[in-house]
Every structure is written in structure tokens, then in C-alpha cells.
């Protein structure tokens, strides 16, 4: 049970009674639960606060801290939605600016920040925005999240290289935002790539994530328009030791060896832009690599279990590296099997992607499974929407992806058909708006 | 016609019929003006193909009377605009050699614009026009709202008047078997229909007959008629034995529409919603190429929908300015952006490129600009009722 959005609740005070009119969606989650009953903060099932909260995110498998279960704090040193324990659902959108007017973009960022802070707290876009205002005007909140809890919603913003070019801010553009090279086997669709701005909404309820993006997009009409978007229905990474490792659509556990929120030194080394990395406004920020990776799952499904495991380098059931017995056993890349061959094949995915093979480079992966219907030829348009946060994509993502693209046997079953790179500014402090430092 | 369900259409008609009986003080008409006006007789307008000579550039507030003579070779129009191209008064469809009178009530002094539109396209030949002093008028919001609905009703009346004439030219060409001419006149006739579409559409029985699509569900025995039937004949099937009959029926329906429009009473909310609905039409029917699927003349309809939307918003402008001073300039800018975009798709003869010539990038730009415009337009109903 967790905090619920109310037309007039604030993070500090308990919500008041909803207006007498029932929302037309009847969005009470079924079973006749009143919104009032959903409001209770008591009975919070999250008992996993602990060390996580100290480094600035809400801990727990379903997010949320002890004060506001299900509410991930919006303002902090870093943006939420990066080391926040990966939520179950994603709605990601890339937008292009339709203006070159810097002041107009700043105004939009201010409006977005206000709305994002409210929505992540489980509130409507504006107070009473869905049904409580002038009935002759369109509601300021679209309403589909009425009665739903905050659901650990996080909203994370990033800026693509074209953002700086359009606004004449090239002198503020980080060098790390240089275009990604093309990789062997890439089949990138321009309509699923790039974008001036990205918004990542993650939540434990898909409707809450979609509601957030929908309302932010709406606020952007006239200043920014959607270039592409992606829904993800299930997380493929754990970003906290408190989480189980989920499975991707190949049926394998994914993200066992991921960077975790409980490893602050690793995060500083691999995720957060450090002082001196430059530019200054990015300190405390990160870089987000997004890749839409179509999986040819029908072909994969015809592959023997043994071959699947050899390709990945892990067992499918337990998820142990083929050099060990348990999921979290450290992969021993030097280990030999009974036949004298490497236990983890020389072209196995986990070997090619390992930190050992890349001077210790690691990425915080935060991807999502997707199925976007079918492709018209009887196959599911399914795969992994890969999201990774890194301190420097050029020295972390690029060498790893190059190795995978050239050598990974798994590539036979994959097609990268979307790609984007964004600079993710640091978190917002009181009174600040998203990306404010960039305009200072 | 929108692709709404019949139930929606009926509901729309009912709302309109039940519309609040705002008393609309008759402010302007295109009929014979009463005798001499404050300034001493009508202001003469000499409208040629290249010039728009107005005999006075200033008049006192109150009723201002113009006599517009078309000395050119093209059919022309004359407008008096206020801020944001609010139409204070207009006279349409003045044939070569003809004279028409226009009486406009302008209660507030300030800067206005006169415009002739030879060929009835484009922004027209414009000149500044000053109104001095202030006439007695209602200055409260209710009065302004009444002015708004009255002004828009004038617009609807003048558009349907022009529709009657332009549609006749189109149907005459159909009946004469002149396919090339009929094809050229089809989008012109539709321009006047599309400008006032929400009002026309509110007559739930007329709309399906006049603007229905071939695949609409009809009662058994009810044939596919109206604009799109003739469009299909002209562009796909060739003229059919009953094409002339369909053309006659369309003429009769247009006349029926004209007579019904005279008794329509609109509320400010209906005006504002009509402006929004016209942009909805653009988004769902024109940018998709759905509406004119045989002729692909969708951009003509697009332009007309936007013009109709702008006319409704302009009528409400004094109320908008009173309640939310920031909204008007935003609307001006967004309307201008859409217009600028559309002008980029003009053909040398003053028409538009066909929908089939547009690239996905073109339609994306159009969708972006209509989204950008429709958001502030959707705020107007709330603002004027706040």
C-alpha cells in the first residue's frame, strides 16, 4: 500500500478527501476500493530503507522510503531513475525542439520540472487538474492516473547533441556527447534514433508511467514534439542488491553483474560525471545510451539449450557463470572445462562484455523488455530496449559495444535498430529546474 | 465531416438547437445599409486585381459603411480586420463589375486593417484604417460575448452565402460534363464548407448527405451522395448517369443549409469549441489524407479549417484579451506559424500541392504545427467562461 495521487495532496500533508465526483475512469483499481482507502500511508510494505537512503535514493524493491512509500524523492544530488531500484515499467520518449528560442525552452523545462515533481509525488499535474477545474476547459491533468499510487515513478531528463546545436549552445556541449560510431550489424532507423531531449518515465505501474509522459508531451506542444517513443513492460536489470535479477526475452537472467546502488565508489567511477570531467554543469550528471535491440526470438527459440548457454556464458536456470555454480559467483574467465576448452567460451556474451576485457569499464544497465506487436511477417517485434548510464560513453559503451558487435555470437539473434545518446544533467535542488546549470 | 459516430452528431445537433438564447444585437449586415453614416456617406472601395483603393483611411467609431466595387477581372472579397485578424465585417464573392455594400459596427477606436482579396486567396491587399473615438456600446463581458457570437454568426452567414454561389459553379460544371473545370472548382467550393464545418455539421441530417464517405454505414436504400460521391466520379469512376442528379441534390442541400444557418443561435462556448473542432478535423482528416481520398486536395480543406478556426477565435478576441492577456498573442503566433507552413505548399496557380506529393516529414511538420496551435485554442472555452 502506498501514497496515492490526490487532487490536492502535497508531499508534506496527508491528502484531503477527493471531490465528490467520481473520476470517469473509475480508476480505483477495481474491487470498489475508495481512493480514500488507498491513501493510507500505514501498512507500508517496504522494510528496506537502510543504507540506500543515505546516498540519495529511495531504497526498496518497490521504491519509496519509510516516509512516503512508493514516492521516490524528486530533488537530490543526482536525478532519480538512475540508481533508483529499477521499476517494472518504462515509457521513454525522445522529442525534437520545434523552436530555436532558448527562453521558450527554459520556460518549458520549468513547467516540466514542476509537473514532474508533482507527478512523482503521486499528485495531478496541477491541483485538482483532472476534474476539479472549469468544466468548459480541457482538464489540465488527463486523469488516467486518478486513484493510482505514485508507484515509484521517476522522471529523468537528458539532452542530445542536437539540443545544443539548435539552441546555439555548442560551447556548452560535453565532448562525451560526440556521435556514437556505427557498429557492425547496426540497422538503425532514423525514426527510432536521436532526439533533442529525452524523458524517461519508470514506475511500477505502466499507467502511471504513460500518464507522466503523456502529460509532459502535451505541455511541450509548440516547443517540442515527439520524435519516437518506447514502452517497456518489464525491467531487465536489477540496480540494487535488494532486487532479484529479472530475465530478458531470451529467457536468461540479465544484469546479475550490473552496477548496484549500494556500490557508491563504483558509481562514482563509472556512472556519475566527476568534477574535472567537464563541462562543470554536468558534474553529478551522467550519460544515457539508448539502443532499441530487436531480438529474433523465433530463431532463438529453435536453438538448443546448450548452445543458448554457451552463447550467453551462463546457465539458463540458476544464471551461474559456466565457470561457477551460483548466480553471483564471479565469472572465472580463465577456467577450463573438462574438455580443456574455456568454460566460458571465447565468444560468449559475458566474456566480451566483461569489465576485465575493457580495462574495468562497467555500465549501469537499466533496460526493459518490449513487445511492440508483430512485424507483419508473423514474428513478434520484440526485444530489449537497452538503457545504460555511464560516466563517459566514449570510453565505456563504445568499446564494449564494438567488441560485442564484432565477436558476440548472440549478434546473430539481434538487430540494433534504434540508437540515441543523451547528456543527463545532475539532480535539481530546491528552486531549480531541470538543466538549469546548462543555461547559467 | 468528422468521423464521429452518428450518436455524436445527433448530440451535437441537440446541443446547438438547445443553445442558450443569447440575444444577438444585430451589429453588421451585408444588406443595404441605412442612410448616411457618422462620417457622412459610405466609404468607396475600388477593388481591382492589383489595388484596393479606400476613399477614406479614417472614420469615427460606430456604424461604418463601405461600398465595394470590383473593377478587376477576378472575383474579390473585402474585409475590415481588427487585432489578430478579427473580422469586423466582410463581403465575399463580389464578381467583376459588381458593387456590394458593407455595414460594420466598430464600437472602439483604434487601428484596423482593410483588405481586398482579388481571386479570393491569400492575405489580400491590405492598408491601415483608423477608427477614432468610442461609440456607445456594452463594455461588460456579457456584451462582449454577445458581440462575439453576433460577429461569428455574420461570418457563418457570409460563408454560406459564398458557398451557395461557389457550389453552383462547381455543380454546373459537373452537369455540363466539364470534368476538368469541375475538378478545379471542387476544392474551391469545399473551402466555404470547411470554414464553417462545425456549424454545418451540427445539422445531423445534412452532413451525411453532403459530406459522407463511401464507407460510412447508411440505412438500407440510402445512397452515397454529396461532395465525396462527386469527387469519386470526377477522379476515379468518371461521370455517371446520375452524377447530375447528385449535383442537384448537393445544391439543394447547400440552400437548405443556408436557410437553417440563419436561425442558428451560438453560444461563446460553442464558438470556442468549434474553433477547436476545426483543428481536430485537420488532425484526423486532412493531415492523414482521409478526407479527399480521391482528389487528394486535402490541403485546401486544411487551409479552410484553419481559417474557420481563426475566425471563431478572432470573434472571441476581445473577451480573451480581457480574461487572459497572454493567450491572444500566443494564438496569433501559432496561427501565423501554421499559415506560413501551409503557404510553403502553394502551387504557382494559387492552389496547393496534392496530399500524395507530401513526404512523411511534411506531414510530421504539419502535425507538429497543428498540435502547437490546438493546445492554446483548446484553452479558449475555459478562458471565456472563467
The yes/no answer to whether this complex scores an ipTM above 0.85 is no
pLDDT band at A136 (very low <50, low <70, confident <90, very high): confident
Q: How far is A89 from chain B (nearest CA, A)?
A: 27
Q: What is the CATH number of the domain that holds B201?
A: 1.20.1420.20
Report chain A residues whose CB lies below 8 A from the CB of B376: 222
Report chain B residues whose CB lies below 8 A from the CB of A221: 371-372, 374-375
In this model, does residue A279 exceed pLDDT 80?
yes
| Residue after which a domain boundary falls, among B137, B162, B181 | B137
B294 and B215 in one domain?
yes
B157 and B295 in one domain?
yes
pLDDT digits 0-9 by tens, A177-190? 999 999 999 999 99
pLDDT digits 0-9 by tens, A386-434? 999 999 999 999 999 999 999 999 999 999 999 999 999 999 999 999 9
pLDDT band at B137 (very low <50, low <70, confident <90, very high): low
| A222 near B CB under 8 A | yes
pLDDT digits 0-9 by tens, A221-272? 999 999 999 999 999 989 999 999 999 999 999 989 999 999 999 999 999 9
Q: What is the CATH number of the domain that holds B63?
A: 2.60.40.420
Report pLDDT for A15. Answer: 39
Picking from A98, A133, A138, the nearest residue to B368 by CB comes out as A98
As a residue count, chain B comes to: 386
Picking from A133, A134, A221, the nearest residue to B372 by CB comes out as A221
| A103 near B CB under 8 A | no
Report pLDDT for A106. Answer: 98
B249 and B298 in one domain?
yes
B361 and B285 in one domain?
yes
Containing structural domain, residue B251: 6-20+145-384
Report chain B residues whose CB lies below 8 A from the CB of A225: 364, 367-368, 371-372
B301 and B155 in one domain?
yes
B260 and B202 in one domain?
yes
| Residue after which a domain boundary falls, among B137, B168, B193 | B137
Average pLDDT, chain A: 87
Average pLDDT, chain B: 85
pLDDT digits 0-9 by tens, A19-61? 333 333 333 333 332 212 233 333 333 333 333 333 333 333 3
Contact A136 B385 (CB under 8 A): yes
List the domain boundaries for chain A. 1-440
Compare all CA atoms of chain A with the CA of B374 and give the residue at the minimum distance.
A221
In 10 A of CB B49, how many CB atoms? 15
Report CA-CA distances (Å) from A413 to A189, A295, A351, B212: 18, 6, 18, 49
Q: For residue B38, is it within any domain?
A: no
DSSP annotation of B77 reads: E
B347 and B207 in one domain?
yes
Cβ pair B149, B266 in contact under 8 A: yes
B72 and B194 in one domain?
no
pLDDT digits 0-9 by tens, B286-341? 999 999 999 999 999 999 999 999 999 999 999 999 999 999 999 999 999 999 99
Cβ pair A397, A363 in contact under 8 A: yes
Can you give chain A as a three-state secondary structure string?
CCCECCCCCCCCCCCCCCCCCCCCCCCCCCCCCCHHHHHCCCCCCCCCCCHHHHCCCCCCCCCECCCCECCCCCCCCCCCCCCCCCCCEEEEEEEEECCCCHHHHHHHHHHHHHHHHHHHCCCCCCCCCCCCCCCCCCCCCCCCCCCCECCCCEEEEEECHHHHHHCCCHHHCCHHHCCCCCCCCCCCCHHHCCCCEEEEEEECCHHHHHHHHHHHHHHHCCCEEEEEEEEECEECCCCCCCCCCCECCCCCECCCCCCCCCCHHHHHHHCCCCCCCCCHHHCCCEEEEEEEEEECHHHHCCCCHHHHHHHHCECCCCCCECCCCCCCCCCCCCCECCCCCECCCCCCHHHHCCHHHHCCCCCEECCEEEEEEECCCCCEEEEEEEEEEECCCCCCHHHHHHHHHHHCHHHHHEEEEEEEEEEECCCCCCCCCCCHHHHC
Q: For residue B30, is it within any domain?
A: no
| Residue after which a domain boundary falls, among B90, B112, B137 | B137
Report chain A residues whose CB lies below 8 A from the CB of B371: 221-222, 225
Report pLDDT for B267. Answer: 84
Sheet of strand B43-47, all strands in order from the earlier edge strand to the far edge: B52-54, B43-47, B62-70, B99-106
Q: How far is B372 from chain A (nearest CA, A)?
A: 4
B132 and B239 in one domain?
no
pLDDT band at A9 (very low <50, low <70, confident <90, very high): very low
Rounded to an integer, what is the distance from CA B276 to the centroid of its chain? 14
Picking from A134, A218, A225, the nearest residue to B386 by CB comes out as A134
Number of domains in chain B: 2
Specify the pTM: 0.77
In this model, does residue A152 exceed pLDDT 90?
yes
- How far apart, in whole angstroms, are the C-alpha atoms of residue A213 and residue B55? 57
Report pLDDT for A51. Answer: 35
B310 and B219 in one domain?
yes
Q: For residue B27, is it within any domain?
A: no
Query: In the predicted model, what is the mean pLDDT of residues B150-155?
Result: 89
Q: For residue B28, is it within any domain?
A: no
Compare all CA atoms of chain B with the CA of A95 and give the residue at the minimum distance.
B368
Query: In the predicted model, what is the mean pLDDT of residues B340-355?
Result: 95
Cβ pair B65, B102 in contact under 8 A: yes
B311 and B197 in one domain?
yes
pLDDT digits 0-9 by tens, B45-78? 999 999 999 999 999 988 788 999 999 999 898 9
pLDDT digits 0-9 by tens, B250-280? 999 999 999 988 888 888 888 898 999 899 8
Out of A275-284, B6-15, B125-134, pick the least confident.
B6-15
B115 and B48 in one domain?
yes
Out of A99-113, A164-178, A387-401, B15-29, pick the least confident.
B15-29
Amino acid at each position: 500500500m502506498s501514497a496515492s495521487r490526490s487532487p490536492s495532496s502535497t508531499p508534506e500533508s496527508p491528502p484531503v478527501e477527493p471531490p465528490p465526483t467520481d473520476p470517469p475512469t473509475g480508476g480505483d483499481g477495481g474491487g470498489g476500493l475508495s481512493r480514500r482507502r488507498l491513501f493510507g500511508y500505514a501498512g507500508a510494505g517496504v522494510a528496506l530503507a537502510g543504507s540506500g537512503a543515505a546516498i540519495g535514493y529511495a531504497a526498496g524493491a518497490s521504491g519509496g522510503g519509510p516516509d512516503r512509500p512508493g514516492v521516490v524523492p524528486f530533488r537530490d544530488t543526482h536525478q532519480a531513475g538512475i540508481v533508483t531500484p529499477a521499476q517494472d515499467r518504462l515509457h521513454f520518449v525522445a522529442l525534437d525542439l520545434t523552436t530555436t528560442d532558448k527562453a521558450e525552452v527554459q520556460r518549458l523545462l520549468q513547467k516540466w520540472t514542476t509537473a514532474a515533481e508533482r507527478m512523482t509525488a503521486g499528485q495531478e499535474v496541477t491541483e485538482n487538474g483532472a476534474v476539479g477545474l472549469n468544466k468548459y476547459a480541457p482538464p489540465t491533468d488527463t486523469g488516467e492516473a486518478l486513484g493510482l499510487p505514485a508507484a515509484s515513478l521517476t522522471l529523468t531528463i537528458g539532452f542530445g547533441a542536437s539540443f545544443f546545436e539548435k539552441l546555439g549552445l555548442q560551447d556548452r556541449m560535453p565532448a562525451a556527447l560526440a556521435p556514437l560510431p556505427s557498429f557492425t550489424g547496426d540497422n538503425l532507423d532514423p525514426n527510432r534514433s536521436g532526439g533533442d531531449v529525452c524523458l524517461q518515465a519508470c514506475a511500477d505501474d505502466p499507467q502511471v508511467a504513460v500518464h507522466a509522459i503523456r502529460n509532459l508531451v502535451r505541455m511541450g506542444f509548440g516547443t517540442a514534439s515527439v520524435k519516437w517513443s518506447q514502452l517497456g513492460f518489464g525491467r531487465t536489470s536489477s540496480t540494487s542488491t535488494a532486487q532479484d535479477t529479472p530475465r530478458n526475452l531470451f529467457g536468461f537472467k540479465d544484469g546479475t553483474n550490473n552496477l548496484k546502488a549500494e556500490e557508491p565508489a563504483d558509481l562514482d567511477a563509472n556512472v556519475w560525471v566527476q568534477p574535472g570531467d567537464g563541462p562543470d554543469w554536468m558534474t553529478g550528471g551522467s550519460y544515457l545510451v539508448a539502443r532499441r535491440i530487436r531480438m529474433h526470438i523465433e530463431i532463438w527459440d529453435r536453438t538448443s539449450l546448450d548452445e543458448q548457454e554457451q552463447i550467453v556464458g551462463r546457465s539458463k536456470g540458476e544464471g551461474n557463470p559456466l565457470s561457477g555454480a551460483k548466480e553471483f559467483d564471479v565469472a572465472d574467465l580463465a577456467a577450463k572445462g573438462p574438455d580443456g576448452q574455456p568454460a566460458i567460451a571465447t565468444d560468449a556474451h559475458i566474456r566480451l562484455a566483461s569489465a576485465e576485457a575493457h580495462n574495468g569499464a562497467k555500465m549501469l544497465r537499466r533496460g526493459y523488455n518490449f513487445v511492440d506487436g508483430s512485424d507483419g511477417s508473423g514474428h513478434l517485434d520484440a526485444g530489449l530496449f537497452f538503457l545504460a548510464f555511464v560516466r563517459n560513453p566514449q570510453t565505456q559503451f563504445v568499446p564494449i559495444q564494438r567488441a560485442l558487435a564484432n565477436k558476440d555470437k548472440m549478434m546473430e539473434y539481434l538487430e540494433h535498430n534504434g540508437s540515441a545518446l543523451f547528456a543527463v544533467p545532475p539532480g535539481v535542488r530546491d528552486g531549480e529546474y531541470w538543466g538549469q546549470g546548462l543555461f547559467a | 465531416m468528422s468521423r464521429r459516430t452518428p450518436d455524436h452528431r445527433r448530440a451535437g445537433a441537440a446541443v446547438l438547437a438547445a443553445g442558450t438564447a443569447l440575444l444577438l444585437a444585430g451589429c453588421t449586415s451585408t444588406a443595404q445599409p441605412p442612410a448616411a453614416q457618422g462620417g457622412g456617406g459610405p466609404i468607396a472601395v475600388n477593388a481591382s486585381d492589383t489595388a484596393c483603393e479606400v476613399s477614406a483611411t479614417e472614420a469615427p467609431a460606430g456604424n461604418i459603411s463601405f461600398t465595394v466595387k470590383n473593377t478587376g477581372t477576378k472575383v474579390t472579397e473585402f474585409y475590415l480586420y481588427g487585432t489578430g485578424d478579427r473580422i469586423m465585417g466582410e463581403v465575399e464573392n463580389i464578381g467583376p463589375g459588381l458593387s456590394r455594400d458593407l455595414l460594420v459596427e466598430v464600437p472602439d477606436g483604434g487601428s484596423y486593417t482593410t483588405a481586398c482579396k482579388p481571386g479570393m486567396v491569400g492575405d489580400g491587399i491590405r492598408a491601415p484604417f483608423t477608427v477614432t473615438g468610442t461609440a456607445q456600446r456594452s463594455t461588460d463581458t456579457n456584451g462582449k460575448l454577445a458581440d462575439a457570437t453576433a460577429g461569428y454568426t455574420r461570418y457563418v452567414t457570409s460563408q454560406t452565402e459564398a458557398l451557395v454561389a461557389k457550389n453552383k459553379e462547381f455543380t454546373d460544371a459537373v452537369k455540363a460534363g466539364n470534368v476538368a473545370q469541375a475538378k478545379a472548382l471542387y476544392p474551391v467550393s469545399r473551402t466555404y464548407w470547411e470554414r464553417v464545418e462545425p456549424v454545418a455539421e451540427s445539422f445531423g441530417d445534412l452532413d451525411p448527405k453532403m459530406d459522407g464517405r463511401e464507407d460510412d454505414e447508411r440505412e438500407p436504400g440510402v445512397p452515397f451522395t454529396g461532395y465525396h460521391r462527386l469527387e469519386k466520379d470526377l477522379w476515379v469512376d468518371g461521370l455517371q448517369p446520375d452524377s447530375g442528379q447528385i449535383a442537384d441534390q448537393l445544391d439543394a442541400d447547400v440552400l437548405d443549409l443556408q436557410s437553417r444557418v440563419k436561425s442558428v443561435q451560438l453560444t461563446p462556448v460553442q464558438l470556442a469549441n468549434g474553433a477547436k473542432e476545426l483543428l481536430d478535423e485537420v488532425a484526423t482528416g486532412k493531415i492523414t489524407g482521409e478526407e479527399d481520398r480521391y482528389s487528394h486536395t486535402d490541403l485546401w480543406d486544411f487551409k479552410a479549417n484553419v481559417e474557420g478556426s481563426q475566425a471563431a477565435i478572432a470573434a472571441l478576441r476581445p473577451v480573451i484579451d480581457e480574461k487572459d492577456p497572454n493567450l491572444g498573442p500566443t494564438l496569433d503566433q501559432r496561427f501565423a506559424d501554421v499559415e506560413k507552413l501551409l503557404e510553403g505548399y502553394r502551387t504557382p496557380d494559387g492552389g496547393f500541392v496534392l496530399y500524395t506529393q507530401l513526404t512523411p516529414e511534411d506531414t510530421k511538420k504539419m502535425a507538429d504545427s497543428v498540435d502547437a496551435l490546438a493546445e492554446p485554442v483548446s484553452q479558449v472555452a475555459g478562458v471565456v467562461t472563467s
